[in-house]
Every structure is written in structure tokens, then in C-alpha cells.
Amino acid sequence: MTEALEVNEKLALHGGTPIRSTRLPYGRQAIDEADIRAVVDVLRSDFLTTGPAVDAFERRIADYVGAKYAVAFANGTAALHGAVFAAGIGPGDEVITTPMTFAASANCVLYMGGTPVFADIQPDTYNIDPDAVKACITPRTKAILPVHYTGQPADMDEILSIAKRHGLMVIEDAAHALGATYKGRRIGTLGDMTVFSLHPVKPVTTGEGGVVTTNDDRLYQRLRLFRTHGITRDPSFLEDDQGPWYYEMQYLGFNYRLTDIQAALGTSQMDKLDVFIRRRAEIAKKYTEAFASMPELETPYQREDRTSGWHLYVIRLNLSALRVGRRQVYEALLAENIGVNVHYIPVYHHPYYRRMGYSRGLCPRAEELYERILTLPLFPGMTDDDVCDVIRAVKKVLGYYRV
């Protein structure tokens, strides 16, 4: 690097002209006129909630993933809560999951009085390690809750084999993975239940929302009851029948319903899901090719027998090749108006979990990974210029801080 260029780089990194004039977020929804018309049509209809749009959206999701049933919820966390309820998790039960996820993946177990047990991750995919899962099983284990981290499916064959051997339920947290495939099958039917998120940064959005897919009749009925106060009007499930007005609360459920307004948006979004996934994959490929020869970072590893939904693009910094830590790199990229993020803080690092008795050192690979990762912007609405800006900024910042 010449002296003049080095001075210029310092200025840019410390208050000079950033690569971008406006902040590029790490994720963002893609809404078009068809989405807006779908929502307006519902606003002009007789049903804003508990109407036909929800049924249509559920059928669309179920058909897409190849499941018998889909049950929509108010948000992804509610959907996880419903799945854990349907699985019969209660006080004293243990559910094995990964620490490298958003807190909701473990919180849903706590909601039902169960105990989350954290298994360490694989060093390459960052997904839950089946060998670590085996080591966590006790007589109290009732379910395994793998998370398809960043959209790449976990090793489901191994996980399902473990579950079958020990008589465990499998609840897939596929919040990142709608549209992903595992050995030729779309994620949504491998486990007993699969949970998707419909948050604005996810593959498709309903604003807030979640869906659980399943092929099991009993689980389907429990999911439907749970999201509507535990109440049913279905004559085949009533314990009494006092007239056409009659309904029964059979479980302590919640008001976790998705509205027709949201469902209409979701159905319209599903028309574009495959296009969204292709664009995410294109951006990921551009990043991987651009960063392939950079010793300061490692690009995401992808297994050949599955396709990622590419919800996130996570790089792992090689701190031995840099003069600074992850925080300085993060702040320098923000100064360039690149909206980087970190996914995730290991769940048991949070104060609430520490007060419950979880301690650092529980999952060494996850903890080491956390210290080195950054999430780069990745969403379908990014232009090629946006992608180039991210690449330029990463090369600029890491080049400046290179040892």
C-alpha cells in the first residue's frame, strides 16, 4: 500500500468519506404492488381475522413444503411455543438444542416448564453436532430441536436416527430455511414438526408471523387449539353439545392467531419465494468468490447434499491475521454504512440464562465462533451495486487492519 493510499484509508476509517452515503441494512423485506393489492383486498373484505385468507395461506405453505398440514401463528416465537406444547413438553422434560441461535429457540422450552439442554455445534457448518446431541441425552430428554442455522439444513438423517433410537420428538427450527432443501427434499416434513418465521428479514414475510408444518393429525389438532385459547367448536372433539353456539376450552391456550391481513401478504409473498431464494444464492456466490483469496476471513461452508435458504451470510474472521478484534472491524464497517450484524450471542450467555445456572464453557466451539463472526447484508432487494459496496468495504477494512 502506498503512503498516499494508506493516508486515504485512514481518513475513511476514521471519519472520512464512507463507501456508501446511506446505511445498507443486513436484511430487509421485499414488498411489491401485488403484495399491497392483496392486503388492500382483505381490508375491503368482510374478514380482517379468522377468515378465509388464513386457510388459503396455510394451504399454500403446506403444499410448497410437501406437508399435510400447516398452522399459522402470530409470530415465529408463538409458533415455537405451539410446537413445544403440541409435543407435550412439561416440567422436568429436557429438550436438546443449539446455543448458536436466537433466544426464542430455547425460550419456548422454558415457557412449558421444560429445560433447554445446549449441544455444541459443528466446526464447519455451525449447525448442531449430532455427536454432541448424543452426549446430552438423559432419561429426561423428550425432544431434539435443531436449528437450520443461516438457512443451511442441519444433519437431519443423524438427528432423526438418534431421535428414533431414544423415542424422542424432533422439532425443526427452520426460521431461516423456508425454501431450503435436504437431500432433494424441501425442509418442512423431515421432523415431527417444522417451525418457520415470517419476520420481515426472513425468506417471506407477513410483517410478523410464524407457521408450523406437520404430517401428524394429533399434533395438527393440538397446534390449532393452542393458538386459539385452547378452544374448539369442532363437534368431533366436544365433550358436550349444548347447541350451535357451543364451544369448549380444552387446554390453556393463547391468542396466537395470524390475521387475514397478514395471511394475504404471506400468500402473495409465496409467489416470489423461489425468486427470492435464487437472488439470495446469487449474492452469496458473489461474496464467496470475492472473498475466496482473503486470509483475513473464512466464507460459509456448504454441504453438497443440501441447499441453503441463505437467510444470513456469516463470515468468520481470522483474528490472527488482523491487528484488531471483531468489534473494531464491526464498527469500521458500520462507519462505511454497511449494516453488519452478529448472529448470534450464545443463548446461555444471556443474563437470564446465567441466573438459571448455565455457565460459560458449556459449548466451546459455539463460544469460539461467536467471538469471530460477522453477518454481512443479504436480502433479495439488494442491487449489484449494493453487493459491490459490501465487498469493497470488507476488503477495505480488513486490508487496513491486516497484520
Residues 296, 389 within the same domain: yes
Residues 224, 126 within the same domain: yes
User: Pick the catalytic residue: 134, 202, 272, 286?
Assistant: 202
Residues 19, 40 within the same domain: no
Residues 220, 156 within the same domain: yes
Residues 249, 331 within the same domain: no
Dihedral of the alpha carbons of 171, 175, 176, 178, in degrees to the nearest 10:
80
Tell me, yes or no, if 285 is annotated catalytic: no
Instruction: Kindly report the CATH number assigned to the domain that includes residue 43.
Output: 3.40.640.10
Give 360's pLDDT tier (boundaries 50, 70, 90): very high
Residue 385 has pLDDT above 80, yes or no: yes
Cα 178 to Cα 186: distance, rounded to the nearest angstrom: 8
Residue 11 has pLDDT above 70, yes or no: no
Q: Which domain holds residue 282?
A: 3-26+273-400
pLDDT digits (tens, 9 = 90+) for 58-76: 999 999 999 999 999 999 9
Query: Is the bond into 344 cis (omega within 30 degrees of 0)?
Result: yes
Write down which residue in 237, 270, 303 finishes a domain.
270
Give 277's pLDDT tier (boundaries 50, 70, 90): very high
Cα 279 to Cα 260: distance, rounded to the nearest angstrom: 28
**pLDDT score at 5:** 38
Residues 167, 280 within the same domain: no
Residues 310, 342 within the same domain: yes
Instruction: Kindly report the CATH number assigned to the domain that includes residue 337.
Output: 3.90.1150.10
> What percent of the chain stands above pLDDT 70?
96
**pLDDT score at 16:** 75
CA triple 144-150-362, angle to 5 deg: 50
Handedness of CA 84, 86, 88, 90 (dihedral sign): positive
Cα 280 to Cα 130: distance, rounded to the nearest angstrom: 28
User: How many domains is the chain partitioned into structurally?
Assistant: 2
Residue 8 has pLDDT above 70, yes or no: no
Residues 220, 297 within the same domain: no
Quote the pTM value. 0.95
Residue 9 has pLDDT above 60, yes or no: no
Residue 3 has pLDDT above 50, yes or no: no
Residues 148, 116 within the same domain: yes
Cα 342 to Cα 295: distance, rounded to the nearest angstrom: 20
Residues 20, 162 within the same domain: no
Write down which residue in 216, 243, 270 finishes a domain.
270
Residues 95, 244 within the same domain: yes
pLDDT digits (tens, 9 = 90+) for 151-195: 999 999 999 999 999 999 999 999 999 999 999 999 999 999 999
Write down which residue in 270, 286, 321 finishes a domain.
270
Residues 281, 385 within the same domain: yes
